[in-house]
Amino acid sequence: MITKRIIPCLDVRNGRVVKGVNFKGVADVASPVELAEYYSAAGADELVFYDITASAEGRKLFTDVLRETASRVFIPLTVGGGINTVEDFDRVLKCGADKVSVNSGAIRDPSLIGAAATKYGSQCVVLSADVARVHGEYRVFAKGGREDTGMEAISWIRRAVDNGAGEVVVNSIDTDGVKGGFDLDLLAHVTYYVKVPVIASGGAGSISDFITLFRTLPGVDAGLAASVFHFGEIAIRELKQAMAAAGVPARL
Amino acid sequence: MTAIVDYGAGNLFSLVSSLSFIGEEAIVTGDPDKLRAADRIILPGVGAFGEAAELLRTRGLTPVLKQIAAEGKPFLGICLGMQLLFDESEEFGRHEGLGLIPGRVVPIESLPGWNKTLKIPHIGWNPLTLTRPSTLFREVSDGDCVYFVHSFCATDCAAAVTATAEYSVTVTAAVEKGNVFGCQFHPEKSGNVGLRILRAFCALLNTGTDPMFKGGDGRC
């Protein structure tokens, strides 16, 4: 049986990890390469690098970091942030990314997903959707969750999958940062309609939140989190052992 | 030295990096002379079978690869590269493969017993069931996980199967016939388990010229 994936997400600015990272045994906690190696050794199934750089100079640092990581860490790498064109896909895929996630870029240009899927295959194209409840409906937000697009989220996600997105990251703005568990209601809606892998994001606070997620929603394939991993609140090895003990298939 | 066949299909960054990580010299080439001169051949591939088979044909590589494999040089197909080792595929029409291993390639969901609630492509880490001893898996244990991304699957190839993966149906995960090997999964993306598989492959010598190798290493 295929295992449920655990995915740490690293925000990278100018080639360094943003947000504090609080580990023992990592030489340079601000180095994405070191952190990627640490997480890979700890049992992470995949890594997401999110580039929050604004400048072209920063972009260059990011691709350097990506190339170095992909030369030393041999698990799937997904890259997001600043992906607006097919050329952006090309830029990161050449440097060792396996998948590319698009968010605002796909909202600005809905043809981007189809164009990228045709060129690189659906397995490369990940839709990342920031979703929040507004007046009783799920809405898609753009620009890092700051701007309500007015679009209904489930239909947006379905459209992106129809256009060729091979995987969907569903990030709940409502539960993000609260550490009270994943947004099971939103995820239940998405997994009901979407037949590609769904990655849950936003709300993980404890090991039991992941176990509840996978037990409640068999259609969720992976759990993504950032700060709970970076601050050592959840150790990935411990999490995966707890998943296996609870009957959730996990790669140990 | 290992030559990775360059025929314009797929992203080779990780494969090249993983070989260099384990200390194996690797070149990416579509030049028949360089392929013939290499100690080992890896046939990679991501994408559609028909298109890839056509690319091999138009670049004149089909007879070259068949000949190299027949001469006993260790030959590894990865993902679509493994599917190309078989006689034919039913991916978007019927297409002829290299015919190095008897069998054919079909959609996963066409296999008997397929559970329709599961997702296609089969993406993620799946445990391996080792079905018989294989040189490639000498440092791999039953139940070790490897990373898959595929929608099609080899079938009617029981004699060559060395490992399978359960995904409601039994997916052919690895095959071996003499000096020809195939992995449906991506060893270059399968962490330490994958690196051990690549290391085992890169330790292989030409079966046609190396008497030390014949019958060795627990092969059957």
Cα–Cα dist A62/A45, whole Å: 21
Percent of chain A with pLDDT over 90: 78
Per-residue model confidence (pLDDT) at position A177: 85
The third-level CATH classification (topology) of the domain covering A5-245 is TIM Barrel (3.20.20)
Residue A29 has pLDDT above 90, yes or no: no
ipTM above 0.90, yes or no: yes
Q: Which of A231, A230, A177, A166 is nearest to A199 (CA)?
A: A166
What's the pTM value of the predicted model, to 2 decimals? 0.92
Q: What is the pLDDT of residues B30-57, one digit of tens each?
A: 999 999 999 999 999 877 888 889 999 9
Q: Where are the beta strands (DSSP E) in A28-67?
A: 47-51
CA angle A225, A52, B16 (to 5 degrees): 80
**Average pLDDT taken over every residue of chain B:** 91
Domain boundaries, chain A: 5-245
Q: What is the pLDDT of residues B64-73, one digit of tens each?
A: 999 999 999 9
Domain boundaries, chain B: 2-202
Interface test with B, best of A38, A251, A252 (most B CBs within 10 A): A251
Cα–Cα dist A228/A237, whole Å: 13
Report DSSP letters for B157-195, one per residue.
-GGGEEEEEEESEEEEEEEEETTEEEESS-GGGSHHHHH
Contact B167 A1 (CB under 8 A): yes
Residue B210 has pLDDT above 70, yes or no: no
Q: What is the pLDDT of residues B100-154, one digit of tens each?
A: 999 999 999 999 999 998 998 899 999 999 999 999 999 999 999 999 999 899 9
Interface test with B, best of A37, A46, A47, A74 (most B CBs within 10 A): A74
Report DSSP letters for A90-150, one per residue.
HHHHTTT-SEEEESHHHHH-THHHHHHHHHH-GGGEEEEEEEEEETTEEEEEETTTTEEEE
Cite the active site residues of A: 11, 130
**Average pLDDT taken over every residue of chain A:** 92
Per-residue model confidence (pLDDT) at position B8: 79
The stretch B180-186 carries a mean pLDDT of: 97
Contact B124 A93 (CB under 8 A): no
Contact A167 B46 (CB under 8 A): no
Cα–Cα dist A198/A177, whole Å: 20
Cβ atoms < 10 Å from Cβ of A144? 13
Tell me which CATH code domain B2-202 carries: 3.40.50.880
Task: Work out the pLDDT band at B219, boundaries 50, 70, 90.
Answer: very low
The stretch A189-204 carries a mean pLDDT of: 96
